[in-house]
């Protein structure tokens, strides 16, 4: 880390006197690109691979990384459409001494800093009175699979302590600056059962569509600090300088890979609601995919996978920004044929 230096008390006072509160909308300071780079590399490897077994393994890994990325894209979409003055930093890898933290999102608001952990798991998530997290996979009303997994609350608490220590020891924040945490579940088929969970756990778990509401609610509470524009930029700049480019994505963690892999498998075997309108859209998207693949001389799944198709049918995005939140649709695909997909949805889809 270079370039960031502690400011003297007098320097901080001078800057504070000049500071303003002009920012009114979200600003994306850092966008995560590691996962998409990994997916792009695996796509290239897939095209070169001759072994059917190795192809199958690569296709599965691509699905897993796309699933994790789609959850983070949906969080970024919500944050950037919040109409709140915030700085958003996506995918930060921080080190402080022997401690390391891979953080999905850090959000700097007027009253606090927020650490966001994103989970895109499938199944019913139950939290016990003791704070244990249990995932139940259902078939109808019957539990066909059950397992506990490492508490995302404990995970985000460790991330927060690394961040807090790093910021304080470099004089970026003082003792009074609050750092809050929230775990965001992004899979719309996940059922959260928090009834027996302690209040301090319930308060830190939300669905993706409740994230902006959570931030707005927290901003209404009193805070010992008021973070104006220059201070927000100071914190953001320090975090950008502290970030270490890390080629090993968080989803390479064995447990995370296992959970995301099972989520992919479960979603593949879960049918999408089959109304006449949805079937018409699905058929149109399959035809579009086939024609586009034929024109480019590539396999149909290189355009988008069946899982991506199902998600498009389910969510029916109407803009390129919304389309970019779909797992498997990266910037390259948005640029190449995103507008054509939107046109297909407009002709054949309906959310009514």
Mean pLDDT, 10 residues at a time, the chain of 352 residues: 54 64 93 81 85 82 79 92 95 91 96 95 86 81 76 94 95 94 89 91 94 96 94 94 71 51 53 49 89 85 82 86 85 90 85 50
**pLDDT at residue 52, as a whole number:** 83
The confidence score (pLDDT) of residue 274 equals 42
pLDDT at 29: 96
Spell out the domain ranges in the chain.
9-268, 276-348
Nearest to 307 by CA among 100, 59, 21, 117: 59
The pLDDT of residue 12 is 60
What is the structure's pLDDT at 271? 46
pLDDT value of position 249: 45
CATH class belonging to 276-348: mainly alpha
């Amino acid at each position: 880390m270079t370039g960031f230096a502690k400011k003297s008390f007098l320097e901080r006072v001078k800057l504070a006197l000049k500071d303003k509160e002009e920012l009114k909308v979200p600003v994306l300071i850092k966008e995560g690109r590691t996962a998409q780079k990994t997916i792009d590399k695996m796509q290239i490897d897939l095209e070169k691979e001759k072994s059917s077994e190795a192809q199958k393994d690569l296709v599965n890994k691509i699905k897993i990384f796309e699933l994790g990325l789609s959850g983070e894209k949906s969080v970024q979409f919500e944050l950037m459409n919040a109409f709140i003055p915030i700085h958003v930093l996506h995918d930060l890898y921080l080190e402080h001494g022997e401690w390391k933290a891979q953080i999905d999102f850090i959000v700097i608001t007027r009253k606090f800093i927020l650490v966001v952990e994103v989970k895109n798991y499938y199944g019913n998530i139950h939290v016990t009175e003791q704070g244990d997290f249990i995932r139940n996979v259902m078939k109808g009303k019957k539990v066909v699979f059950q397992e506990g997994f490492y508490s995302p609350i404990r995970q985000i608490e460790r991330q927060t302590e690394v961040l807090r220590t790093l910021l304080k020891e470099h004089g970026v924040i003082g003792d009074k600056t609050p750092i809050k945490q929230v775990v965001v579940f992004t899979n719309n088929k996940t059922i959260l059962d928090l009834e027996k969970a302690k209040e301090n756990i319930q308060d830190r778990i939300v669905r993706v569509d409740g994230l902006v509401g959570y931030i707005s609610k927290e901003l209404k509470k009193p805070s010992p600090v008021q973070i104006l524009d220059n201070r927000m930029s100071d914190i953001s700049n320090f975090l950008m300088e502290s970030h270490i480019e890390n080629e090993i994505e968080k989803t390479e963690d064995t447990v995370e890979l296992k959970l995301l892999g099972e989520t992919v498998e479960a979603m593949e075997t879960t049918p999408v609601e089959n109304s006449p309108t949805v079937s018409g859209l699905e058929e149109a998207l399959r035809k579009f995919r086939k024609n586009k693949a034929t024109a480019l001389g590539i396999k149909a799944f290189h355009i988008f996978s069946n899982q991506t198709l199902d998600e498009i049918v389910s969510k029916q995005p109407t803009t390129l920004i919304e389309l970019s939140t779909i797992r498997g649709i990266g910037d390259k695909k948005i640029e190449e044929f995103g507008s054509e997909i939107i046109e297909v949805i407009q002709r054949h889809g309906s959310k009514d």
